[in-house]
């Protein structure tokens, strides 16, 4: 029994076994280092491109610049800023100065090439001048002096753009010039005087009364009584 144990430990302590174990450890370490190097190379760890400032830049110009740097660009939204040129970039993500990997897409919001259109609210014959003025200015329409017509004072009777009447629900370009048509408090001469329209003719009335008397009254008759 002791001899078998000695042989076992003798084999366990042999140089051949330890060499095999050492070779296995070296292979595992090499594999780990190789995998790490491949990952670093594939992901470009520690390498990056600084995102430039694109604010106010024309979209096509920004596209050319980013392509030269190995980046891509995509417009995912638009807005309208009156003070900015049409087609320029107003928002970007990632932000300027950030370090990104090659091939990264920069998402941008550009200033609209066309002025957005706004739906006209239901104001005609539905509100006063002050209310209509406030609502239209809030929608960024420009208003001229109102046009006055006969009607209830400061009541809105129409909306005009130039010589054309504008209806509720119609889409009109923002900042268009509109004119409110409102009443001046006067109803004009479209109605006759109440006395002339509903009164009675005095002469005809008197004549009628006289005729009635002649027709319906009693004519006195003198009767001679015999003594």
Residue 16 has a pLDDT of 67
Our measurement of the distance from residue 110's CA atom to the centroid of its chain's CA atoms, rounded to an integer in Å, reads 15
Task: Tell me how far apart the alpha carbons of residues 29 and 23 are, in angstroms, rounded to a whole number.
Answer: 10
Closest CA to 152 of 197, 194, 188: 188
> Domain 49-111 belongs to what architecture?
2-Layer Sandwich (3.30)
Q: How far apart, in whole angstroms, are the C-alpha atoms of residue 178 and residue 170?
A: 13
DSSP state letters, 94-126: SPTT-EE-TTPEEEEEEE-SSPPEEEPPS-TTT
Percent of the chain having pLDDT more than 70?
70
CATH architecture type of domain 117-183? 2-Layer Sandwich (3.30)
Q: What is the pLDDT of residue 188?
A: 60
pLDDT digits 0-9 by tens, 48-76 = 899 999 999 999 999 999 999 999 999 99
Which token pair is 157? 């009777």
Q: Which two tokens stand for residue 212?
A: 């009635």
pLDDT in tens, 96-106: 999 998 899 99
Give the mean model confidence (pLDDT) for residues 179-185: 94
pTM for the complete prediction?
0.50
Q: Is the peptide bond before 102 cis (omega within 30 degrees of 0)?
A: no
Task: Check if the beta carbon of residue 60 is closer than 8 Å to that of residue 93.
Answer: no
CA dihedral sign, ordered 213, 215, 216, 217: positive
pLDDT at res. 51: 94
DSSP per residue, 4-53: HHHHHHHHHT-HHHHHHHHHHHHHHHHHHHHHHHHHHHHHTTT--EEPP-
For the segment 1-57, what is each residue's pLDDT rounded down to a tens digit? 566 656 655 665 666 666 777 788 888 888 887 887 777 666 555 568 999 999 999
Given this chain, do its domains 49-111 and 117-183 carry the same CATH topology? yes
What pLDDT is recorded for position 46? Answer: 55
Structure token digits, residue 24: 């296995």
Structural domain boundaries in the chain: 49-111, 117-183
Which pLDDT band holds residue 211 (cuts at 50, 70, 90)? very low
φ, ψ at 161 (rounded to 5°): -120, 100
Tell the residue number behind the tokens 């029994």, with chain if given.
1
């Amino acid at each position: 029994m002791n001899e078998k144990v000695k042989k076992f430990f003798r084999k366990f302590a042999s140089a051949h076994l330890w060499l095999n174990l050492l070779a296995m450890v070296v292979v595992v370490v090499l594999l780990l280092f190789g995998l790490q190097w491949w990952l670093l190379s594939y992901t470009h760890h520690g390498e990056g491109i600084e995102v430039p400032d694109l604010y106010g830049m024309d979209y096509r110009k920004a596209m050319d610049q980013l392509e030269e740097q190995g980046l891509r660009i995509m417009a995912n939204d638009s807005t309208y800023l009156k003070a900015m040129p049409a087609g320029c970039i107003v928002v970007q993500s990632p932000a300027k100065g950030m370090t990104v990997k090659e091939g990264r897409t920069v998402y941008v919001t550009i200033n609209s090439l066309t002025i957005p259109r706004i739906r006209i609210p239901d104001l005609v014959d539905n509100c006063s001048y002050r209310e209509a003025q406030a609502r239209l200015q809030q929608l960024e329409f420009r208003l001229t002096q109102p046009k006055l017509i006969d009607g209830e004072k400061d009541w809105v009777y129409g909306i005009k753009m130039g010589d054309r009447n504008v209806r509720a629900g119609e889409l009109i370009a923002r900042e268009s010039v509109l004119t409110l048509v409102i009443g001046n408090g006067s109803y004009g001469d479209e109605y006759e005087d109440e006395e002339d329209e509903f009164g009675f003719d005095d002469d005809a009335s008197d004549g009628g009364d006289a005729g009635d008397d002649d027709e319906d009254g009693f004519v006195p008759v003198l009767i001679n009584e015999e003594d």
